[in-house]
């Protein structure tokens, strides 16, 4: 088992009660208070402890004679390698992020161990079976990537509240409290000295904290908006924003008394601007004045109560003060741009990508996982099923079983099909390709990059100092200037020894890219890229949700007869394989059903494609 969260707790219990006697469970996380409403093996006294270890202890109380081995560790650690996975009969996933899922999928393929995938979001869920050579692997079909927005939209022309949240969370919060060396697109030049190289966000040693907070407020909500208004071309077809200064939002006496009301005693352990200001209802939409008070108070509390953390903070949806600051900042910016304000409860949902979990869905999915695991152990491939849990009945069913698909011939993971990367080889650095494509899109952790027989980059431990230094120099070189130049029609070989994954990338030079549609400045073809319909929820992502509704999945499971030439059943393929060493007359393997991307009540749900298309392509 990988994952001991919402699905994991139910799964471990069901496995134990179904007669499984030797179970290994890996989970990196510790127990949080927010887990207790659905992860029933945990109690208040367990907060802060290892999920894997506590889950083991809880199950052994009612099944003391079975063997459960817990690992409080990251499944991506080097000790969980292919050899480790080979010892198991089946691997069951209950993870909360795509990166770990892809990693486990690759290890299972390399170890030739069957994988049962799963996930839930709200009332929706699914279970899928992946067996090398018999069914598609987890990465044969597209998976969602976090929705991203052009920098110019976030910094200059927001039109939705989510744009304001991204600005407040990823730009302003990061600038004030995060890594000072990280790139940031906020204007740091002050109104008084725009030619100076001084960063307006830097606080001088003797500067009064209240004055500093007001100066930041006036800079980001006042001066920066005025600067943006100076470009009249931008606002020809857009509503102009209104600069907001502290003096406009708050009376002078209110600024002086901010957070010092004698009516509210501050006895909480965790600093909170809401408590300081006597704001109690997180579902109330604050006025501009209240948002301004919360912004100033939260900023001051960070410097007064959590100064040691400043410089290392990353936004966390469970950090009350961070959520208060981001909510207030997003609302003030929204007010400036004429965008409706939101409550803290709503803003937290957007910033933390939250879709609330349903414990019953986890229990249903855990039961389905065990059913598929038993089929795998019995070798009953004829009856493997991908099962979808729906919110509303379709054909009078809430559980919709679908026969698995054959492997996708164009999958770069299990079929080793070459990829194509369009990139400007004269301006793009090797570092950009590794970060944006090889690590981010292809999910490799410790990549090795070769151009022909020349090794241009290697990541990992055990490198000699001179080798590491040489690879570091290569990272900063543009592709065409590498020791083995990468130009049009060059073939890259990329490998990750930990995942035992190897693929080829054919380079196509391209001079220009659309900044809005192709913000990475490169386009990768042949991989399972982003899809249009997705709903993200409360995984630890630094991304924002798209606006698509997960409810669309309800229309995807209707049976439509296959036309001649469409994808064949897994059963037919396997029977053909048993009668002959080679598979003949393969039909189109690139199609897919509309499919939920699975997550352990903490992440995301999506549809791979237009449901009408999916209905026609699903196996009958």
User: All domains of the chain, ordered by start, with CATH?
Assistant: 6-145+356-402 (3.40.50.720), 151-259+268-352 (1.10.10.520), 419-525 (3.10.290.20)
Catalytic residue numbers read 152
Is pLDDT above 60 for 590? no
Q: Is 8 annotated as a binding residue?
A: yes
Q: How confident is the model at residue 582 (pLDDT cuts 50, 70, 90)?
A: very low
Q: Is 610 annotated as a binding residue?
A: no
Q: Is 208 annotated as a binding residue?
A: no
Q: How confident is the model at residue 39 (pLDDT cuts 50, 70, 90)?
A: very high
Cα(177)–Cα(182) distance, integer angstroms: 11
The residue-averaged pLDDT of 263-267 equals: 47
- Is the torsion defined by CA of 102, 84, 87, 52 positive or negative? negative
For the CA atoms of 289, 293, 296, 302, the dihedral, rounded to the nearest 10 degrees, stands at -150
> DSSP label at 544?
B
What does residue 34 show for φ and ψ, rounded to 5 degrees?
-65, -15
Is pLDDT above 70 for 453? yes
The owner of tokens 């809430």 is 398
Is pLDDT above 50 for 263? no
Q: Is 99 annotated as a binding residue?
A: yes
110-135 pLDDT per residue, tens: 999 999 999 998 899 999 999 998 99
How many C-beta neighbours within 10 Å does residue 376 have? 22
- Whole-prediction pTM: 0.69
Q: Is 389 annotated as a binding residue?
A: no
The strand ranges marked E within 353-500 are 386-394, 397-402, 419-423, 447-451, 454-458, 491-496
Is pLDDT above 70 for 207? yes
In the chain, % helix, strand, coil (3-state, to 5) comes to 35, 15, 50
474-491 pLDDT per residue, tens: 999 999 999 999 999 999
Q: Which range (242-251, 365-374, 571-580) has the least confidence?
A: 571-580
Cα(204)–Cα(226) distance, integer angstroms: 25
Q: How confident is the model at residue 255 (pLDDT cuts 50, 70, 90)?
A: low
Is pLDDT above 80 for 605? no
Q: Is 231 annotated as a binding residue?
A: no
Is pLDDT above 60 for 562? no
Is pLDDT above 90 for 74? yes
The strand ranges marked E within 330-458 are 386-394, 397-402, 419-423, 447-451, 454-458
Tokens of 81: 């390698």
Q: SS in 3 state form for 516-529?
A: CCCCCCEEEECCCC
Is pLDDT above 90 for 192? no
Q: Is 140 annotated as a binding residue?
A: yes
In order, the DSSP letters of 393-407 are EETTEEEEEEPPPPP
Q: Is 108 annotated as a binding residue?
A: no
pLDDT at 538: 32
Three-class SS state of 386: strand
Cβ contacts of 225-231, under 8 Å, gap ≥ 24: 225/336, 226/191, 227/187, 228/156
Beta strands 501-509; 419-423: pairing state: parallel
Q: Are 164 and 339 in contact (CB under 8 A)?
A: yes
Q: Is 574 annotated as a binding residue?
A: no
pLDDT at 197: 56
Nearest CA to 88 out of 22, 27, 133, 14 is that of 22
Half-sphere exposure of 184 (CA within 13 A, CB side): 23
Is pLDDT above 90 for 148? no
pLDDT at 182: 74
Is pLDDT above 50 for 323? yes
How many C-beta neighbours within 10 Å does residue 393 have? 11
Name the CA radius of gyration of the chain, rounded. Answer: 27
Q: Are 9 and 27 in contact (CB under 8 A)?
A: no
Q: Is 3 annotated as a binding residue?
A: yes
Q: What percent of the chain has pLDDT over 90?
A: 56
Q: Is 35 annotated as a binding residue?
A: yes
pLDDT at 525: 84
Is pLDDT above 50 for 454? yes
Q: Are 215 and 175 in contact (CB under 8 A)?
A: no
501-537 pLDDT per residue, tens: 899 999 999 999 988 788 889 999 876 554 443 333 3
For the CA atoms of 256, 259, 263, 265, the dihedral, rounded to the nearest 10 degrees, stands at -140
pLDDT at 155: 87
How many C-beta neighbours within 10 Å does residue 104 have? 26
The residue-averaged pLDDT of 190-219 equals: 80
Q: Is 206 annotated as a binding residue?
A: no
For the CA atoms of 471, 472, 477, 479, the dihedral, rounded to the nearest 10 degrees, stands at 40
Q: Is 9 annotated as a binding residue?
A: no
């Amino acid at each position: 088992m990988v994952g001991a969260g919402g699905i994991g707790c139910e799964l471990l219990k069901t496995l134990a009660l179904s007669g499984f006697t030797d179970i290994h469970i890996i989970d990196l996380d510790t127990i949080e208070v927010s887990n207790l409403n659905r992860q029933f093996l945990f109690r208040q006294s367990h907060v802060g402890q290892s999920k894997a270890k506590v889950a083991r202890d809880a199950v052994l109380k009612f099944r003391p004679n079975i063997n459960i081995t817990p690992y409080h560790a990251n499944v991506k650690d080097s000790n969980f390698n292919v050899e480790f996975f080979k010892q198991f009969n089946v691997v069951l996933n209950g993870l909360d992020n795509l990166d770990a899922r892809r990693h486990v999928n690759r290890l299972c393929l390399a170890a030739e161990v069957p994988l049962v995938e799963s996930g839930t979001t709200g009332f929706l869920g699914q279970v899928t079976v992946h067996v090398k050579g018999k069914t598609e692997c987890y990465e044969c079909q597209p998976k969602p990537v976090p929705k991203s927005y052009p920098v110019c939209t976030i910094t200059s022309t927001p039109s939705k509240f989510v744009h304001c949240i991204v600005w407040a969370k990823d730009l302003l919060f990061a600038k004030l409290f995060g890594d000072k060396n990280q790139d940031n697109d906020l204007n740091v030049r002050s109104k008084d000295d725009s030619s100076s190289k001084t960063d307006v966000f830097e606080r001088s040693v003797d500067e009064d904290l209240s004055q500093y907070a007001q100066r930041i407020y006036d800079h980001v909500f006042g001066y920066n908006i005025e600067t943006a208004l100076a470009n009249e071309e931008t606002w020809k077809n857009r509503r102009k924003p209104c600069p907001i200064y502290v003096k406009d939002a708050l009376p002078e006496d209110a600024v002086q008394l901010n957070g010092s009301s004698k009516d509210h005693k501050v006895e909480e352990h965790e600093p909170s601007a809401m408590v300081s200001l006597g704001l109690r209802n997180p579902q109330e939409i604050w006025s501009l004045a209240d948002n301004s008070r919360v912004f100033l108070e939260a900023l001051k509390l960070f410097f007064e109560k959590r100064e040691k953390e400043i410089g290392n903070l990353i936004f966390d949806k469970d950090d009350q003060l961070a959520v208060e600051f981001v909510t207030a900042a997003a609302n003030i910016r929204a007010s400036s741009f004429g965008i409706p304000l939101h409550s803290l409860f709503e803003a937290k949902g957007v910033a933390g990508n939250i879709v609330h979990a349903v414990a019953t869905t986890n229990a249903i999915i855990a039961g389905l996982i065990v059913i598929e695991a038993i089929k795998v152990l019995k070798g009953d491939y004829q009856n493997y099923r991908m099962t979808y849990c729906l919110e509303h009945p379709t054909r009078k069913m809430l559980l919709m079983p679908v026969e698995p698909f054959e492997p996708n011939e164009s999958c770069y993971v299990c079929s080793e099909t070459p990829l194509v990367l369009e990139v400007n080889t004269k301006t793009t650095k090797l570092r950009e390709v590794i970060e944006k494509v090889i690590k981010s899109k292809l999910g490799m952790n410790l990549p090795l990059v070769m151009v022909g027989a020349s090794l241009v980059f290697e990541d990992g431990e055990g490198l000699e100092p001179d080798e590491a230094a040489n690879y570091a120099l290569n990272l900063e070189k543009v592709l065409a200037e590498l020791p083995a130049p990468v130009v049009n029609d060059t073939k890259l070989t990329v490998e990750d020894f930990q995942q035992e994954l190897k693929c080829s990338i054919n380079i196509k030079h391209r001079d220009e890219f659309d900044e809005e549609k192709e913000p990475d400045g490169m386009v990768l073809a042949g991989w399972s890229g982003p899809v249009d319909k997705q709903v993200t929820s409360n995984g630890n992502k630094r991304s924002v949700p798209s606006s698509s509704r997960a409810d669309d999945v309800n229309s995807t499971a209707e049976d439509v007869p296959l036309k001649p030439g469409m994808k064949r059943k897994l059963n037919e393929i396997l029977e053909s394989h048993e009668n002959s060493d080679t598979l003949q007359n393969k039909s189109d393997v690139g199609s897919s059903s509309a499919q939920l991307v699975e997550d352990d009540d903490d992440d995301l749900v999506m549809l791979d494609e237009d449901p009408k298309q999916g209905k026609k392509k699903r196996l009958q």
